[in-house]
Amino acid sequence: MSALIKLRHMPVMQRCLWNHMNKVTRNISTSKKNSETATTACEPKQQDKNWVSYGFDYESKEDDTNAHHASYFFTITLCMVFGGFAWAYAPDVSLRDWAQREAFLELRRREKAGLPPIDPNYVNPRSVRLPKEADMCDVEIVI
């Protein structure tokens, strides 16, 4: 992770030059046999004969594999696992739990008062003022 942060702070040109220099230079192994050192330093890397790219890098198997693993790590682990965790434990924005709790409290209050659980008249009929027959004239009433 610290390597990604360090690479992010490098300028683009410096990063490109750094990647190019790593591909051009060859490290010489320090083994005790001189014959092995001379032959391994001059030979290019052997590419795997049956290697099929993941689609991230078509020339380097190591870069392709690293990019593949990094992208799946960020996609699966960070997005899906931690995203799913955040979604599952997020607060209830539609207030369904609150509404259900209030309904239970209201039912308990009505039972203690001896009222029916659901009142057929949502509004007290005495508080509603209807117009008189003479005021309605020829208005058709559709029920």
Contact 107, 117 (CB under 8 A): yes
Looking at residue 111, its amino acid is E
Per-residue pLDDT of the chain (143 residues; tens, 9 = 90+): 455 555 556 565 565 555 655 665 566 666 666 555 555 555 555 667 788 999 999 989 999 999 999 999 999 988 999 999 999 999 888 888 999 999 999 999 999 999 999 888 888 889 998 888 777 777 787 87
| Terminal Cα distance for the chain, rounded | 70
